[in-house]
Amino acid sequence: MALHTLTIQAAHNLLVKGEITSVELTRAVLDRIAEVDPAVRAFVTVCEEEALREAAAADACLQSGEGVTPLTGIPYGAKDCLSTARVRTTCSSAILEDYVPHYDATVIARLREAGAVLVGKQNMDEFGMGSSCENSAFFDTHNPWDLDRVPGGSSGGSAAAVAADMGLFSLGEDTGGSVRMPAGFCGVTGLKPTYGRVSRYGLIALASSFDSVGPLAHDVHDAALVTQAIAGQDPYDSTSVAAVVPGYIAGLDRDLRGVKLGVPVEYFAEGIEPGVEAAVRAAIDHLTDLGAEVQVVSLPHTDYAIPIYYLILMAEASANLARFDGVRFGLSTPLDGGDVIDRYLQTRAKGFGDEVKRRIMLGTFALSAGYYDAYYLRAQRVRTLLRQDFERAFEQVDAIIAPVCPTTAFKLGEKIDDPLQMYLSDIHVVAANPGGVCSLSVPCGFSEGLPVGMQIIGPPLGESTIFRIGDAYQATTTWHLDRPQMGQ
């Protein structure tokens, strides 16, 4: 039995029966990382010694039977924008290359309390700015299904690690598709929860009004388990929602009779690859066979999602990244003449990559005097229209079904020199973030040998509904069981 290929549920059953130990499971995952990560390059940092110590502590808990949770002893990785005490947190940026936080993000702390074992931090587009994991300051991450292709971004390292069995799950972060797009490209399951459902405390912010932390896993059941552990109000995050977290696992009843699904006409427009459309439409037909009722819906302001998203994101990012000035933490360029302003400029010029600089400049422009009303304020007003589109749709249906992306994973280097084409890759995923809804990506087929993802979009705090639909689909299909052929 290859331990590194287990789901969370399967591993938990073996752990509580004493048939395997967490140290054995963690060792298997660390060996897998050593075997295949030189080709995939999903990890920025591997914390082997600390992981084995945490695994030994989990084994003690399992032996005593006290405080055991479904995640006790389960090895996982985290996107490198989540603060981890004693483990460096770089955001895949040169400006934070040597930064080691003194505290855990709330989601990391909750996983520690649940007994999960952190094996390492995963590569990403620098500060989350990218759709391909090619904007890291350190190296590109490769798609395990085809090493010449991108894994998607910005949580590319997290998705690639799960797809290549380098951890039983990962924590990613979704600002405008950054969990769902890589999940779709890498053939794994990924959740963007409702904004505020999961704490952002300890997340290095990109766009504060969009950022959402969510899991990537092999199936919906595992994603629900992780969400159950990390969701809930947090006194350290004033934007976290006070609503009670329901029992996500208990809600997986797999009965879709009476469930109403909407198919948005705008998401099947010109530009979608035939193989992608065929796979998603076949999945919709399968959901109909399971008892769901399907109807066409319209999200008329979808065409504005990309400009709305990028205007607001760049404005918020320019403000959030102002803290990286070379004074308090991170890279600091020594003064060689000049004054403190020169130090700021030299540090930021050396520490930030081209894409980050581009977005800071555009965001600062959008917030500047004379342009604020024309750009940022107008984008916020149209954001309201986008949100109202979803509200009207959810008056008719329980969930919306759409492709994750219009294409499968593109080749490394194909779009990196054309920012506009890279931004357009996000066309099907960005609306969920300004729209304030939750969304789940599940594998639904292949096109020319590459995974295709289906997006199940739910209303605010509708995670139980989309988990139920995704689990019912996976209970009667096998796409999520397919793994890329790597190593042994």
Per the annotation, the verdict on 79 as an active-site residue is yes
Taking only the tens place, the pLDDT of each residue in 393-431 is 999 999 999 999 999 999 999 999 998 889 889 999 999
Q: Which two tokens stand for residue 448?
A: 């020319």
CATH of the domain at 126: 3.90.1300.10
The confidence score (pLDDT) of residue 91 equals 98
Confidence band, pLDDT 50/70/90 cuts, at residue 20: very high
Sign of CA dihedral 366, 369, 371, 376: positive
Amino acid at 13: N
Catalytic residue among 22, 79, 93, 240: 79
- The answer on pLDDT for 260 being more than 90 is yes
Residue 1 predicted with pLDDT over 80: no
- Please name the residues in contact with 112: beta carbons below 8 A apart, sequence gap of 6 or more: 54, 104, 118
Query: What's the confidence (pLDDT) of residue 488?
Result: 61
Give the C-alpha distances (Å, rounded to integers) separating 293 from 243, 288, 297, 394.
29, 6, 13, 14
Question: Angle CA(29)–CA(467)–CA(252) in degrees, nearest 5?
Answer: 95
pLDDT digits (tens, 9 = 90+) for 136-184: 999 999 999 999 999 999 999 999 999 999 999 999 999 999 999 999 9
Catalytic annotation, pick one of 132, 178, 240, 441: 178
- What is the extent of the structural domain holding 145? 1-488
350 is catalytic: no
Q: Which of 83, 92, 154, 240 is labelled catalytic?
A: 154
132 is catalytic: no
Q: Report the distance separating Cα 473 and Cα 477, nearest Å.
A: 6
pTM: 0.97
Query: What is the chain's percent helix, strand, coil content, to nearest 5?
Result: 40, 15, 45
- Count: domains in the chain: 1
